[in-house]
Amino acid sequence: MFFVKLFSKSLVIAAVLIIQGCASSGQKSSSMINQLVIAEPLPVNYKSEVALARLTEVLQRAEVTDEQRAQLFYDRGVIYDSVGLRSLARLDFNRALNLKPDLVDAYNFLGIHYTQLQEFDQAYEAFDSAIELSPDHEYAYLNRGIALYYGERSSLAIEDLETFYQNQTNDPYRLLWLYLIEQDVDSVSALQNLKQRSSNVSDDVWGKSIINLYSGEINQQMFIRDIALNVRSNKEFSERLCEAYFYLGKLNLINGNKRAAANFYKLALSTNVYEFVEHRYAKLELDLMRQSVVKEPEEPSSLN
């Protein structure tokens, strides 16, 4: 807990410098990234390493049916994905589907990976396959909606996110993603909806602080100040920071503070919380910013 308390104080000071720098000098503010204190990246769990070794050994030596082999490839792909080895994960998911074409979760994972690679048509096809095979697969609706959002088809994405949100209206993250996509279509209506729906979310859950930040109930400094409240372990703290950095990045991007947004996305990536949706799409956010940036001759971009 000493680490958490010490870190939270440093984080407040550093992040406030970023925010105030952007506020004081707009898009021409200099990056404060060198002054930031970041979370210690989560190490690879040794259990994941052991599981990868065992699954590989079984796949190489054991006599198994095609269906069993497909499941083994899928299970190994999930572990590869959880430790950030995306290319190896995709390879195993495709192997699994070649052996068992109705493996729904493999389509869902492939769709996520295609979204991260900006191969949106392939992502839509993968999610469509998952939903066709399992119409109640709620996370396929979430992930297809996110793919549509990043593929600049937010109007279509809203329907998927509404479906996902209605399955659990007290989940702050379902509400936040629905807001982000609605905001891309109509920012005024999206904010009204966010405030109205937020009453379903308990004040006791951490995600409510993110909703309060977006709805204007608290400012960024207040949000950052309280990030470490009730954190019980460094793992939990890294996971919370991954979420916090990502949503701070999105908020700053919405407000036009691109440099602060880029820095927060990089901080989200630095946590190594590969399984979180926020970590997955922080890299995509940076890629999209790099593609859209107009370089100014008098000032180098902070996105590189």
Same structural domain, 142 and 65: yes
Q: Report the distance separating Cα 221 and Cα 114, nearest Å.
A: 35
What is residue 62's predicted lDDT score, i.e. its pLDDT?
Answer: 81
**pLDDT value at position 4?**
43
Q: What is the pLDDT of residues 58-116, one digit of tens each?
A: 999 888 999 999 999 999 999 999 999 999 999 999 999 999 999 999 999 999 999 99
Query: Is the distance from CB of 126 to CB of 108 less than 8 angstroms?
Result: yes
* Mean pLDDT for the chain overall: 86
Q: Is the dihedral of CA 236, 242, 243, 245 positive or negative?
A: positive
Question: What would the two tokens of residue 167 be?
Answer: 């399955």
pLDDT at 38: 63
In a domain, 192, yes or no: no
Residues 257-290: pLDDT tens digits?
999 999 999 999 999 999 999 999 999 999 999 9
The pLDDT, as a whole number, for residue 295 is: 46
Share above pLDDT 70 across residues of the chain, in percent, rounded to a whole number: 83
Q: What is the pLDDT of residue 107?
A: 98
Question: What does the pLDDT read at residue 48?
Answer: 87
Check whether residue 30 and residue 51 sit in a common domain. Answer: no
3-state secondary structure 81-135: HHCCCHHHHHHHHHHHHHHCCCCHHHHHHHHHHHHHCCCHHHHHHHHHHHHHHCC
Q: What is the DSSP letter of 8?
A: H
CA 277/CA 186 separation, integer angstroms = 24
Flag whether 200 is in a domain.
Answer: no
pLDDT at 44: 74
**How far is the C-alpha of 237 from the C-alpha of 4, rounded, in Å?**
8
In single-letter form, the type of residue at position 45 comes to N
pLDDT number for residue 6: 40
What is the pLDDT at residue 213? 97
Instruction: Tell me the CA distances in angstroms from 202 to 10, 124, 206, 272, one per residue in order.
Output: 28, 33, 9, 28
Residue 53 shares a structural domain with residue 77: yes
pLDDT at 251: 97
Q: Per mean pLDDT, which range of 168-172, 184-188, 238-242, 300-304 is the poorest? A: 300-304
Bridge partners of residue 296, in order along the sequence:
299
Those residues whose C-beta lies under 8 Å from the C-beta of residue 292, and which sit 6 or more positions away, are: none
| Residue at token pair 């190489």 | 60
Given this model, what pLDDT does residue 179 score?
98
DSSP-assigned letters across all residues of 256-284: T-HHHHHHHHHHHHHT--TTSHHHHHHHH
Looking at the predicted structure, is the pLDDT value of residue 185 above 70?
yes
Q: What is the mean pLDDT of residues 5-23?
A: 46
Q: Do residue 28 and residue 119 come from a single domain?
A: no
Rounded CA-CA distance 158/97 in Å is 29
Residue 222 lies in a domain: no
State which of 95, 117, 151 marks the end of a domain.
Answer: 151
Question: With b meaning 16 or more CB within 10 Å and e meaning fewer, what string describes 144-178?
Answer: bbbbbbbbebbeebbebbebbbeeeeebbbbbbbb
Query: What pLDDT sits at residue 43?
Result: 74
133-146 pLDDT, tens digit each: 999 999 999 999 99
The whole model's pTM is what? Answer: 0.84
Task: Look at the chain and report how many structural domains it folds into.
Answer: 2
Q: Let me know if residue 279 belongs to a domain.
A: yes
Instruction: Say what percent of the chain tops pLDDT 90.
Output: 73
What per-residue confidence (pLDDT) applies to 41? 73
Q: List the single range of 28-37, 47-56, 196-205, 210-219 with lowest mean pLDDT.
A: 28-37
CA–CA gap between residue 135 and residue 125 (Å, rounded): 14
Domain interval for residue 115 = 44-151
Q: Residue 94 has what pLDDT?
A: 98
Q: Which residue, of 127, 151, 175, is where some domain finishes?
A: 151
